[in-house]
Each structure stands twice: as structure tokens, then as C-alpha cells.
Structure 1
Amino acid sequence: MNMSKKHAIGIDLGGTNLRVALVSEDGEIIRKIKRPSSERIVDSILESLSEIGHEGVRGIGLGIAGLIDRKNNRVFASPNLRAVEGLDIVGELRRRFDVPVFIENDANAAALGEKIGGAGRGFNNFVLLTLGTGIGGGMIYKGELVELSSEIGHMSINADAEKCPCGNIGCLENYASARAMVSKAVALLEKGSESLLSKCCKGSIYKITPEDIYRIALEGDTLSREILRDAGKYLGVGLANIINIMSPEAIILAGGLIGAWNIYIQEAIKEASRRAYKDLFDSVKIVSSSLGDNAGIIGAACIVFKELSRNSSLS
């Protein structure tokens, strides 16, 4: 490790995975660990930090899926990770390691990561969407991270629909996320719909993953393709809303679901083109993340450097 550079720990805690990395001030990942998210959140983070190593780091940046209480450094609500709600992770890490610890929404952190070293480098104004278990959002405006809730996955797109785990009705996340795809697949198979999906996972339809749906869709399975196109159509509604309201230079799509670009994302772009103002749609670039899984941990670590620099300039 180059000791002439400053280093920080970046933590990205989502509904599915926990990622922890040692990151240099120029956004280079030195070491990284990825493991499934668990109910033992603090223990999992501490174990990961022990494996990564944290000697000499300037601080810890924590990106968490959920609505951030910035005043108290906690999470108000996290529909896909309930165990984190109200948990004083920041305080625990500060006590353990005696370094500054900063908390941010995981998609906001990913947006900053893409701005610093990814697909957002060429844009001053863009919106990032994380497409995974849920749907998160982050925004860069005039080159800086905007500290908004950016809960794009919880915009209502159907006023008369089912209730979302967040408490709202008809959220985008209920229709276009990985969780939504799997739920729809299971529901249709339970009703007897014919699909090659019924033969995967050793016949256990309750173990189907979004990757299974996309893989079998590419084999020509009608039901799988319908599920992806339907989810893509709803995502397109969300994209059109973002374009019409914010008119960003770009929308960057990140998360595991962008692997289904050829059906899911293409359908979303097609639907957005139908619904958004033509001039606004024509001026926005819809692109994929170039950092992939690393965007959130790089962004979380870089929040440490930005905050320390800001505090230094104020003193």
C-alpha cells in the first residue's frame, strides 16, 4: 500500500450485499470484501473491517440503503433492510476505531463514486439509479452531490395499487425492481403459468433469481420475457418522470439488473421515449455505470475525504 496517499474505508450496505473496501484518495480500491447482508449488521461490518485492515485510515464512509437521518446519523427507514432502522452504526464505529465516520444513502454514495471515477466524469448534472433488490437514486448537480433523500424507487406510479413495504401505494420499486420481478414470476407460476422457470432451481420456484429470469428469457421463454418487458415498461415511466422534472444531462443506471440491458433496460428506454418531452428526452444520455459494484464503496470512501477537506477549510 502506498503510504504517501491518504486512505479511507468505504462501506456499501444494501438489501442484498455488504461491500467493504480500503480506498485511496484518488478512488483506487486497495482491498475489497463482499458478503451477503445479514441481520447481524454491526458484527458483519466489524468482521469485514478486521479482514480488510484499517490501520492509518482517515475515516469511514458508510453508504446504506434507506432514508438517512442526517441530524442523528442514523437511518429513518429502509424497506429492504429493516434491521438497520434506528441502529447507531456510526456511533459504534466511532467508538471502536476513533476516526471520523460519515453516513450517506447508498445510491447517493454511488452517484459520487461515478462522478469521481466512473460514467459521470463527463457530466455536471446527472441522476443515478441503482437497480437491484430495490431502486435507489442519487443526484449530482453542478458537479456536486445533492444531499436529498432521492428515494426515486418510492415515487408513486400507480395510485390504486398494492401497498409498498415503505408504506406508500404503487411505488416504482413495486413494479420495476428485482424483488418485483421475482414476486411476479413466483405468483404466475403458482397460478400454473407455463414457463421454463418452473424447471430451474431444482424445481423450487421460490429460489428463482432475477439472473434466472434473464437467462431463461434469452432462451426464448415467453413468460420470462414478459416479466422483464413489463418491469422495463414501469422503469421507463420512472425515467420519463425524472427527465421531465429534472432534465439531467444523463441518467446513469447501476446495480445488478443492468445485466438484463437487452430486454429490461431497452424496454425502459423505449417507454421513456414515449412519455418524456421529446426535446428533453433527446438531450439526455442514458448510460450504464462503469464502476459496477464498486461505485458505492468508492463514493462512500470519498465522502470521508470531502468532509475532512471541508472541515479543514472551515477551521
Structure 2
Amino acid sequence: MTSMIGKTIRRWWIIFLLPTIVAFLIGFLVPFIMGVYLSFTRFTTVSDSHWVGLDNYRGVFSDKEFQHALVFTVLFTVVTTLVVNVAGFFVAYMFTKAMKGANLFRAVFFMPNLIGGIILGYVWQLLLNAVFGHWGRSLTYSGTYGFWGLVILMCWQQIGYMMVIYIAGMQALPDDVMEAAAVDGASSRQILFKVTIPLMMPSITVCTFLTVTNGFKLFDQNLALTNGAPSNTSEMLALNIYRTFYGRTGYEGVGQAKAVIFFIIVAIVALIQNRLTTRKEVTA
């Protein structure tokens, strides 16, 4: 019976694969190709486009706000990637030890990830503005305030999610390796840095990839928390592209060019990060 099913699948595999291929073409490939084409045109609708060559891309690289948003986003991503992964790892390490109420604490840490970005943005806006109000300040007082407000929000939301992935990785570690290290006289610190962390590289790769891409793609929280204020100094790349495309008449092509550049940047960063961490996995 099993062999008959296998033969049927091998014979008609294209039929099983066809829905996925069609969905990929309609949902990603065709819109992506159209988007790249439109980035070289001036348009108001897809059917009303005029080829302008590289004019839109020249407009992107001469846009000071886009350059600021790029630097702002890179700094934000670096800070949140480090903080979220270090904190998530050590929270997971703590909760894998025998302790009362560990499951409850895991649930509490994970819950922020279930809340939508817009809601989180408005909640943290109220909280942080209440704190800054004691000094006559607010999140929109300067771009620096907005930056650290976004970092706090992102860390609060993402640490619990990364914690779950790290816990799964720690629970899959071979006990005999840990026991052998302990028998050889390794201290808890040595076991952590010389055994646990190297063996956790697959989980670290996944979590680093997620935090890097999430940092670059952040939009909802940025919109709700600061909306780019003051004077777009706390604006990230996704929000800058949105404003260009929908907020500036006649700049739809420039906004589309920004989106293409944004895609390329995220893809390059993700590939580099994945290559570096995968190389460490092989070394470990």
C-alpha cells in the first residue's frame, strides 16, 4: 500500500506542487518583477507608467531623509540584535534550570510577541511619555529619544520569542557531552562558553536571522510610537518608503525604487549574516 502511494506521488508530483507554484508566482514573483519594472518608471497607476530610466534611483540617493533612515535602521538593528539575542539566550538558560514556576515565567515572557505592533507602539508611547514627562520631555523631543524608545519596545516584544527557540535548542543538547565536561572538571562558566554556546550555533543562527530581518523591516511599531517625529529623525526605512510612496504626489516611482533598494539591502545583510553564523556552526 505504501509503495503504491509512493509511486502515485512520483508519477503525479507536479499536480501536488502546482498550487504552491501558482501561489508563489501570483503572490511574490509577478509582483516583484512588476515592482522592479515600475521603479524605472514614473507612474500613478500600474497601467499608466512612463519609462524614466535611472531618474528614480538618482532621486533616492540624493534624498537626505532616506540616508538618515538607512543609518538609523542599521544602528537600531545592530543594537536590538545584540540585546535581544544575549538577553533571550540567558533567560532561556535560566529557565532550563530546575526552578519553581518556570513554565509560568516562560509564558509571561512570550506573551508580548502575541500583541500586534500597532498596539504595542501606542502602549509604550503612553508609558514612556509618562516617564519622560517628569523631565518635561517626550518621545518626540528628539530622534535619540525615539531611537531608544523603539529599542526598548523591540526588545520587550522579541526577547520572549527568541527565548522559546533557545530553550528548544538547549533541551536538544546531548547530555553525555555536558556530563563529560563536568567529569573533566569544567566549571559552569567553562561549560557554558566552551560547550553549550558552540553546540547552540544552529539556534543562534535562526534567532540572529530573525532579529536582523525584523529590525530592518520594522514598520508598525515605528508608525505608532513616534511616526518619525520630530522632523522624521526617528523614521526607519520601511516608514520612509511608505511616506514617499503614499505621502508625496508624483514620487511613486521614487518610492518603488526605495523599495527595491530596501529589498536588496535586507537580502544582502541576511545572506552575509547567515553565511557567517553557518561558518561558525561548521567550525563548532
| TM tier, smaller | under 0.3
Considering only CA atoms, is the larger Rg found in Structure 1 or Structure 2?
2
Compare relative contact order (CA 8 Å, sep 6+) and give the higher one, 1 or 2: 2
With structure 1 as the length reference, what TM-score do the two structures score? 0.23
Bigger helix fraction:
2
Bigger strand fraction:
1
